[in-house]
Chains A and B, each alone.
Chain A
């Protein structure tokens, strides 16, 4: 057993050293589910990781065996694989999986504080050290209740809870911005690819409505090259340093994921695999895994190579690389990709299918405009993402500082 604890030396005035079992009690109200009942049910899958929140809930009718009944305010903690940091405070009555421990705060402690306490590194460390079982490591109440901590007095608990929940609110707001932006992007793409930008009348085509002045073309007719990267024993060419070679994991929707990259030698690149040597502006399309995902080769990767990816070199007169890539990432293209892919276990997409893919084609100036619009949304999305990440860092740091009394808040005025 680890000696991990949350004891603070020297103990700040008013704080008390206690065992976890004195701070809260474990709820053991057993409850047998009623068929067709609609009491909310919480399983491990409904708890967010590393963050005191829910990501959904089930209903009673999903489950069969008896479970624990909890009440509003109780703190639910996932005892299976505690390193996943699953714990949240319920704002509804319900029943929970037997892999979830239900804590109910005792008199000297408030629930709002308890839910952050179980997210402290010390508590998680302790829980990890008390697990048993190799396949399914679980901690247990008898072990957890022995966890020792220094508990701040009630007013300070309230302030700590208030501060942390404010950060949490800010994080959740960013999360919602990310979600809404994603939805906006999808809807906007659909609009751009079917209605265009000029508010012109639409015509019906094989792939649905498109603006009247646009054409519908097969990829093959508008690209100079559609071919596949290295497929025969690519790993035999790997060297430590040399020319980068893209694999599926380097291709994300409209962007490059440069790590981890593999390399091949200059000789190989200009020798046996020179057929698939890339130029800046080529479009890479994933074949296996998430078929159809595509991005454009940026200038700094001019001359690199690719492995088991489809690469497309558009006819520069008529087709913009970024427009092509955007199209392949759209739902409209995904429908065609779905139809053209082969194999179920390994979702697989081949060159023939890319050649036959049909695409709405506006004049190049409109292609550029469409790309610019979508890039703006991406920028917004990225901004929210990085903001959320920064806030998450802030949350972790504050949680640590407040729980260990490195930052004291007892003298602050707060509306709580």
Chain B
């Protein structure tokens, strides 16, 4: 059995924790972070993220390739033949890497590790060669030039690059070493660390994991559903959806999980990768019996099936527990971030399609000339974009900005994005969008008309808004502003029609450095409140449309739910008694002082 859940509940994030086990002494996270720091220390690591992420990604590809080769070698006799076989039939492995060490017994990664001079050039050449063989990886791992110079000076000189490669070499990331979701989580962890150091630019690619978890739990995607993120960044929100779905499925299907997880106070394992790792280490049952029984990559299963036929019982147990994965679709504007999202998905071993480009002007996902629709949409678009003009809305050919709502004003495209997402939903679709707090209230209470308020009113009047969540302050990496999450539902249940559920979670957080975070029990509380529409004093309220109208379509939870604790007062009599006491004290002190002053002769 698993160890009791409660043991694994951590109030702090894992980066504050010391490594627990002596054997595998360093957690994968701290190893991966140390590797990143080998370039120029923790302070500058984020600057070099575009070098570090692809290298770690490549290391994973190499080690997995190694494992696959070994398996083939076990069948055919030698690694040398395995190399040859794989070269002849790339389908035998998931990603064929054209890296062949001089001595076939050496790991594939050694090709990169052994580069002695002109390392930058060598690494770049190898990565491009990998990309040539694997169209899926094109533009993802070959986009960085490790040999790049600025004004004749190498951006990342060979010495430091070689340190980085050495640091990365110290740990194997093969199939038997780490499970896909662990390395995936570590990769996410690294992205978060970069976000913490990245300051202003970080919010572009990273949404705090707690927020993603709440969104995905509330949206409750079901196996096989199509999920879309029009501004996907590093893909974190999509990944959260997959994790939430798998967790729920596993929770429902496996009795072990139900006793071990569901009834425990905090059934969320979510982002705290440390926990995950602990479980991986401490419970062998999980590793063998769990879904990812040593993380079977799809190709591996395919290969085994071919080799042994479909009858392998091991395979069936491995396969049976896995629910049909979600189909993840994302679009991202910034090329580096797009590459990050792709690597993130591959390394998590999730299925997805990430497009590149400006979603607002040129959405890539279309079907028969119309906007493609999805079961779920999640997104955290950049807040208050002010560069789209009325013409951009007018020129839209995809019916995203319906009459009566239309243009939300030039100063903030927040509601424009909501309109895009609304248009991307199918008839029963649901969406969760992170927006600036102001998007819920701007324009309300002003005399005269306000474009943004008009759009908001359209959404309320069409009964599309299911709930609004007001987040705690200082959660996001590029701002201290709290932000809200808007939940849309195109098919609200009958009982919820004409009403909106508001949650003010501004007090549900713990102080952290550099950013606040929502503890696990807080995530559960917020998600459960949102799912069940549970009203609770100082946290949540069901508000009907008439009341929203009275407040001029201000839908900010802070307007309706006051969390202030200022209203707790001590009884007057008690205060007065205190006052009497301090005044008596003061009189005594005064008398003593008078006496002394008299003696001094003042």
Q: Which of B22-30, B355-363, B523-531, B558-566 contacts A (4 or more CB under 8 A)?
A: B558-566
Do A340 and B445 contact each other (CB < 8 Å), given the known contacts A183-B575, A331-B567? yes
B582 pairs with A180, CB closer than 8 A: yes
Question: What 1/0 flags go to A133-169 for Cβ under 8 Å of B?
Answer: 0000000000000000000000000000011001101
Do A407 and B586 contact each other (CB < 8 Å), given the known contacts A331-B567, A344-B480, A352-B447? no
Residues of B within 8 A of A385 (CB): none
Q: Does B592 touch A at the CB level, under 8 Å?
A: yes
B600 pairs with A335, CB closer than 8 A: no
A174 pairs with B599, CB closer than 8 A: no
Which of A331, A343, A350, A356 touches B566 (beta carbons < 8 Å)? Answer: A331
Within the complex, the shortest CB–CB distance from A396 to chain B, in Å, comes to 14
A166 pairs with B566, CB closer than 8 A: no
Q: Which of A23-31, A70-78, A187-195, A303-311 contacts B (4 or more CB under 8 A)?
A: A187-195
Q: How far is the CA of A166 from the CA of B592 in the complex (A)?
A: 7
Q: Which chain A residue shows the least CB distance to B438?
A: A342
Interface residues of A in 321-366 (CB under 8 A from B): 331, 334-335, 338-340, 342-344, 350, 352-353, 356
Residues of B within 8 A of A342 (CB): 438, 441-442
Q: Does B446 touch A at the CB level, under 8 Å?
A: yes
Residues of A within 8 A of B583 (CB): 177
Do A188 and B586 contact each other (CB < 8 Å), given the known contacts A167-B593, A342-B438, A350-B445? no
Q: How far is the CA of A413 from the CA of B437 in the complex (A)?
A: 68
Q: How far is the CA of A59 from the CA of B446 in the complex (A)?
A: 49
Which of B442, B482, B575 touches A187 (beta carbons < 8 Å)? Answer: B575
Q: Does A252 touch B at the CB level, under 8 Å?
A: no
B566 pairs with A335, CB closer than 8 A: yes
Q: How far is the CA of A174 from the CA of B579 in the complex (A)?
A: 11
Q: Does A203 touch B at the CB level, under 8 Å?
A: no
Residues of A within 8 A of B437 (CB): 344
B589 pairs with A335, CB closer than 8 A: no
Residues of A within 8 A of B566 (CB): 331, 334-335
Which of A187, A356, A407 touches B569 (beta carbons < 8 Å)? Answer: A187
Question: What 1/0 flags go to A216-259 for Cβ under 8 Å of B?
Answer: 00000000000000000000000000000000000000000000
Q: Does A48 touch B at the CB level, under 8 Å?
A: no
Q: Does B596 touch A at the CB level, under 8 Å?
A: yes
Q: How far is the CA of A266 from the CA of B13 in the complex (A)?
A: 62
Q: How far is the CA of A250 from the CA of B576 in the complex (A)?
A: 32
Within the complex, the shortest CB–CB distance from A290 to chain B, in Å, comes to 14
A344 pairs with B572, CB closer than 8 A: no
Question: What 1/0 flags go to A179-206 for Cβ under 8 Å of B?
Answer: 0110110111011000000000000000
Residues of B within 8 A of A188 (CB): 572
Q: Which chain A residue shows the least CB distance to B588?
A: A173
Q: How far is the CA of A278 from the CA of B575 in the complex (A)?
A: 39
Which of B556, B558, B572, B582 touches A177 (beta carbons < 8 Å)? Answer: B582
Q: Does B585 touch A at the CB level, under 8 Å?
A: yes
Q: Does B570 touch A at the CB level, under 8 Å?
A: yes
A184 pairs with B579, CB closer than 8 A: yes
Residues of B within 8 A of A187 (CB): 569-572, 575
Within the complex, the shortest CB–CB distance from B47 to chain A, in Å, comes to 24
B570 pairs with A176, CB closer than 8 A: no
B579 pairs with A181, CB closer than 8 A: yes
Within the complex, the shortest CB–CB distance from A350 to chain B, in Å, comes to 7
A409 pairs with B441, CB closer than 8 A: no
Q: How many residues of A contact B (CB 8 A)?
A: 38
Within the complex, the shortest CB–CB distance from B326 to chain A, in Å, comes to 35
Q: How far is the CA of A413 from the CA of B576 in the complex (A)?
A: 37
Q: Does B578 touch A at the CB level, under 8 Å?
A: yes
Q: Does A412 touch B at the CB level, under 8 Å?
A: yes
B589 pairs with A170, CB closer than 8 A: yes
A163 pairs with B572, CB closer than 8 A: no
Q: How far is the CA of A395 from the CA of B589 in the complex (A)?
A: 14
Q: Which chain A residue shows the least CB distance to B445?
A: A352
Q: How far is the CA of A339 from the CA of B441 in the complex (A)?
A: 10
Residues of A within 8 A of B558 (CB): 338-339
Q: How far is the CA of A162 from the CA of B567 in the complex (A)?
A: 42
Interface-central residue, B556, B576, B596, by most chain A CB under 10 Å: B596
Interface residues of A in 358-416 (CB under 8 A from B): 407, 409, 412-414
Q: How far is the CA of A188 from the CA of B441 in the complex (A)?
A: 33
Which of B441, B572, B590 touches A184 (beta carbons < 8 Å)? Answer: B572
Q: How far is the CA of A173 from the CA of B582 in the complex (A)?
A: 6
Q: Does B481 touch A at the CB level, under 8 Å?
A: yes
Q: How far is the CA of A344 from the CA of B579 in the complex (A)?
A: 37
Residues of B within 8 A of A409 (CB): 599-600
B586 pairs with A180, CB closer than 8 A: no
Residues of B within 8 A of A334 (CB): 564, 566
Q: How far is the CA of A169 from the CA of B480 in the complex (A)?
A: 42
Do A183 and B570 contact each other (CB < 8 Å), given the known contacts A166-B596, A174-B586, A339-B559? yes
Which of A166, A169, A180 touches B575 (beta carbons < 8 Å)? Answer: A180
B596 pairs with A163, CB closer than 8 A: yes
Within the complex, the shortest CB–CB distance from B468 to chain A, in Å, comes to 14
Which of B480, B562, B582, B592 touches A335 (beta carbons < 8 Å)? Answer: B562
Residues of A within 8 A of B567 (CB): 190, 331, 335
B446 pairs with A166, CB closer than 8 A: no
Q: How far is the CA of A367 from the CA of B437 in the complex (A)?
A: 37
Interface residues of B in 258-307 (CB under 8 A from A): none
Within the complex, the shortest CB–CB distance from A8 to chain B, in Å, comes to 18
B445 pairs with A356, CB closer than 8 A: yes
Within the complex, the shortest CB–CB distance from A406 to chain B, in Å, comes to 11
Residues of B within 8 A of A163 (CB): 596, 600
Q: How far is the CA of A339 from the CA of B442 in the complex (A)?
A: 12
Q: Which chain B residue shows the least CB distance to A343?
A: B438
Q: How far is the CA of A334 from the CA of B556 in the complex (A)?
A: 17
B593 pairs with A170, CB closer than 8 A: yes
Residues of B within 8 A of A180 (CB): 575, 578-579, 582
Interface-central residue, B566, B571, B582, B585, by most chain A CB under 10 Å: B582
Within the complex, the shortest CB–CB distance from B602 to chain A, in Å, comes to 9
Interface residues of B in 532-587 (CB under 8 A from A): 556, 558-559, 562, 564, 566-567, 569-572, 575-576, 578-579, 582-583, 585-586
Within the complex, the shortest CB–CB distance from A115 to chain B, in Å, comes to 18
Q: How far is the CA of A188 from the CA of B556 in the complex (A)?
A: 31
Q: How far is the CA of A181 from the CA of B580 in the complex (A)?
A: 11
Q: How far is the CA of A166 from the CA of B590 in the complex (A)?
A: 8
Within the complex, the shortest CB–CB distance from A399 to chain B, in Å, comes to 13
Which of A166, A350, A412, A413 touches B593 (beta carbons < 8 Å)? Answer: A166
Residues of B within 8 A of A172 (CB): 589
A169 pairs with B569, CB closer than 8 A: no
Q: Sample 16 A-B pairs with CB under 8 A, ordered by A number.
A: A162-B596, A166-B596, A170-B590, A170-B592, A173-B590, A183-B575, A188-B572, A335-B564, A338-B564, A339-B558, A340-B559, A352-B445, A353-B445, A409-B599, A409-B600, A414-B596
The 10 nearest A-B residue pairs measured at CB? A173-B586, A352-B445, A187-B569, A170-B589, A176-B582, A169-B589, A331-B566, A180-B579, A173-B589, A184-B575
Known contacts A173-B585, A407-B600, then 4 further A-B pairs from the complex at CB < 8 Å, ordered by chain A residue? A163-B596, A180-B575, A187-B575, A335-B562
